[in-house]
Structure 1
Amino acid sequence: MADNETGGVFLDGGHFYRDTWAEIDLGSIKENITSFKKHLPAETGIMAIVKANGYGHGAFQTAQAALEAGAQELGVATLDEAIALRRQGIEAPILIMNRIRPEYANLAAKLGLAVTVFHKEWLAEAAAEIEEGLTLSLHVKTDTGMGRVGTKSKGETAELIKEAGKDGCFKVTGLFTHFATADELDSSLFKQQLAVFKELVQELKQLEICPPVIHCGNSAASLMAPEELFNVARIGISMYGLTPSNELLPVLPFQLKEAFSLYTRLIHVKKINRGDTVSYGATYQAEEEEWIGTLPIGYADGWMRRFSPGAEAIINGRKVPIVGRICMDQCMVRLPHEMEVGTLVTLVGQQDDEKISIDDLAKLAGTINYEIPCLISSRVPRTFKENGRILENMNVILNF
Structure 2
Amino acid sequence: MTTDPSFPHRAGAEIDLGALRHNVRTLRARIAPHVRLMAVVKADGYGHGAVRCARAALVAGASWLGTATPHEALELRAAGISDVPVLCWLWSPGDPWDRGIEAGLDMSVSDMWALDEVCAAARSTGKTARIQLKADTGLGRNGCQPARWPRLVGEALKAQGDGLVRITGLWSHLACADVPGHPSNTTQVDVFRSMVEQAEEAGVEPEVRHIANSSAALTLPEAHFDLVRTGIAMYGLSPSPGIGTSAQLGLRPVMSLKASMALVKHVPGGHGVSYGQHHITENQTVIGLIPLGYADGIPRHASGRGPVLVGDHIRQVAGQIAMDQFMVDLGGDELEPGARAVLFGRENRGEPTAQDWAEAADTIVYEIVSRIGTRVPRVYANDRP
TM-score of the superposed pair, with normalisation by structure 1: 0.89
Q: Number of residue pairs matched? A: 378
Aligned counterpart in structure 2 of residue 133 of structure 1, from 114, 126, 129: 126
Q: Is 1:176 the equivalent of 2:171?
A: yes
Distance in 1 between the 2:24 and 2:342 partners? 26
| Overall identity of the aligned pairs, in % | 35
- Which moved further from structure 2: 280-289 or 250-259? 250-259
Aligned partner of 2:108 in structure 1 is 116
Q: Is 1:323 the equivalent of 2:318?
A: yes
* CA displacement, residues 322-355 of structure 1 (integer Å, 9 cap, x when unaligned): 2111111111111132211111111112498522
Change (3 A) 1:305 1:78: same
Structure 2 letter corresponding to 1:35: T
Secondary structure of 1:313's aligned partner: strand
Deviation at 1:206, TM superposition (A): 2.6
* CA displacement, residues 133-174 of structure 1 (integer Å, 9 cap, x when unaligned): 311100100100000011112423432432332331211111
Deviation at 1:306, TM superposition (A): 1.5
Are the counterparts in 2 of residues 24 and 382 from structure 1 also a CA contact under 8 Å? yes
Distance in 2 between the 1:197 and 1:39 partners? 22
Are the counterparts in 2 of residues 174 and 211 from structure 1 also a CA contact under 8 Å? yes
Change (3 A) 1:331 1:229: same
Secondary structure of 1:175's aligned partner: strand
Distance in 2 between the 1:351 and 1:251 partners? 9
TM-score of the superposed pair, with normalisation by structure 2: 0.93
Q: Is 1:61 the equivalent of 2:52?
A: yes
Question: Which runs of no fewer than 5 residues in structure 1 stay unpaired?
Answer: 9-15, 392-400
* CA displacement, residues 63-82 of structure 1 (integer Å, 9 cap, x when unaligned): 01100101011000001101
Question: Which runs of no fewer than 5 residues in structure 2 stay unpaired?
Answer: none
Aligned partner of 2:364 in structure 1 is 368
Distance in 1 between the 2:378 and 2:216 partners? 30
Aligned partner of 1:89 in structure 2 is 80
Aligned counterpart in structure 2 of residue 314 of structure 1, from 309, 312, 319: 309
Deviation at 1:239, TM superposition (A): 0.4
Distance in 1 between the 2:182 and 2:371 partners? 29
Distance in 2 between the 1:65 and 1:385 partners? 11
Secondary structure of 2:258's aligned partner: strand
- Which moved further from structure 2: 93-102 or 307-316? 93-102
Deviation at 1:227, TM superposition (A): 4.0
* CA displacement, residues 21-73 of structure 1 (integer Å, 9 cap, x when unaligned): 10111111111110111111110001110000111111111101100101011
Distance in 2 between the 1:103 and 1:19 partners? 38
Aligned partner of 1:144 in structure 2 is 137
- Which moved further from structure 2: 186-195 or 218-227? 218-227
Aligned counterpart in structure 2 of residue 79 of structure 1, from 70, 74, 87: 70
For the aligned residue pairs, the C-alpha RMSD in angstroms reads 2.1
Aligned counterpart in structure 2 of residue 302 of structure 1, from 293, 297, 314: 297
Aligned counterpart in structure 2 of residue 348 of structure 1, from 333, 340, 344: 344
Aligned partner of 2:377 in structure 1 is 381
